């Protein structure tokens, strides 16, 4: 499979920069509830999403009972994509967010472009099949910790339900800021910590008991959806993620909870 290669591919020393940063961090991370070596996580995540790619969109509808569509629309309401902007959608998978951005920009013929960037080839293939022939959507395979783009290339960066799958989220956040232009906007839509006590127990019962079984029945893969549930619990809560964004250099950081904190949208600006 061949992917479109942007004219502003990064050719400088980002790998060395990220390597030096990585040495300053612990060499372990987590895959669900398992502690693993950092270099082991990306292949494991790829395996999860290669396994579920063909059923990913229908599973999103079933797991969230359609609520993911409302969450994504709320992201667009906050983001307010403008015609002519060049946007990067990381962990963009099958193109759900990218298509929403283009619709808000005025449709496929309106000025603007979205680059869909994902770690997993199978997810990108599903997206390309879904939006075959769309020249305003480009598809690139790679790692969020080392984006192959020049500094200050994008007007907006989105990552939806993907940051918790990154081996070192702090590196992905630093890369997000690097590729944004001054005044560029960062948006992260992610599962988060429930803030309503009455909802927490019900949500835990649903997550741990029903979601993996739903994955087994519909996608034929219980283990991948068990990982999904566990990865949510290991992801930093809202205020901690805000602190990580500030450490990465983002300004005017804030978040909005939805569905009682089941998900949250985080926003920051490159200044």
Question: What pLDDT is stored for residue 51 in this prediction?
Answer: 93
Question: What pLDDT is stored for residue 13 in this prediction?
Answer: 38
Question: What pLDDT is stored for residue 21 in this prediction?
Answer: 42
Residues 232 and 220: their CA atoms lie apart, in Å, by: 21
Nearest to 116 by CA among 145, 87, 143: 87
Question: What pLDDT is stored for residue 4 in this prediction?
Answer: 47
Question: What pLDDT is stored for residue 3 in this prediction?
Answer: 44
Question: What pLDDT is stored for residue 231 in this prediction?
Answer: 96
Domains of the chain: 14-269 (3.40.50.150)
- What are the angstrom distances between the C-alpha of 234 and each of 30, 137, 208, 249? 8, 32, 14, 23
Question: What pLDDT is stored for residue 186 in this prediction?
Answer: 98
Which positions of the chain have pLDDT values less than 70? 1-26
The Cβ of residue 207 has, within 10 Å, a number of other Cβ atoms equal to 20
**pLDDT for 85-110, tens place per residue?**
999 999 999 999 999 999 999 999 99
**pLDDT for 67-76, tens place per residue?**
999 999 999 9
**In degrees rounded to 5, what are phi and psi of residue 52?**
-105, 0
Any idea what the Cα angle at residue 46 is, between residues 37 and 223, rounded to 5°?
85
Question: What pLDDT is stored for residue 35 in this prediction?
Answer: 95
Question: What pLDDT is stored for residue 26 in this prediction?
Answer: 67
pTM across the whole model: 0.89
DSSP state of 5: -
């Amino acid at each position: 499979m061949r992917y479109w290669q942007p004219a502003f591919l990064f050719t400088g020393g980002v790998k060395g920069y990220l390597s030096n940063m990585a040495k300053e961090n612990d060499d372990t991370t987590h895959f669900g509830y398992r502690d693993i070596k950092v270099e082991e996580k990306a292949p494991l995540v790829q395996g999860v999403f290669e396994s579920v790619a063909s059923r990913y969109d229908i599973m999103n509808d079933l797991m969230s009972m359609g609520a993911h569509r409302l969450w994504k629309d709320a992201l667009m309401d906050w983001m307010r994509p403008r015609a002519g902007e060049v946007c990067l959608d990381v962990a963009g998978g099958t193109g759900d967010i990218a298509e929403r951005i283009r619709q808000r920009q005025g449709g496929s013929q309106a000025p603007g472009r979205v680059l869909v960037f994902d770690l997993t080839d199978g997810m990108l293939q599903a997206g390309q099949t879904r939006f075959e022939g769309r020249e305003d959507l480009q598809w690139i395979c790679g790692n969020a910790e080392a984006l192959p783009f020049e500094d200050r290339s994008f007007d907006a960066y989105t990552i939806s339900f993907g940051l918790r799958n990154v081996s070192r989220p702090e590196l992905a956040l630093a890369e997000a800021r690097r590729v944004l232009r001054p005044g560029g906007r960062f948006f992260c839509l992610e599962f988060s910590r429930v803030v309503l006590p009455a909802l927490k127990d019900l949500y835990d019962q649903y997550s741990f008991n029903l979601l993996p079984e739903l994955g087994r029945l519909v996608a034929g893969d219980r283990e991948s959806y068990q990982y999904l549930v566990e990865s949510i619990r290991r992801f930093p809560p809202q205020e901690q993620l805000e602190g990580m964004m500030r450490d990465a250099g983002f300004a005017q950081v804030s978040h909005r909870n939805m569905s009682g904190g089941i998900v949250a949208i985080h926003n920051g600006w490159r200044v």
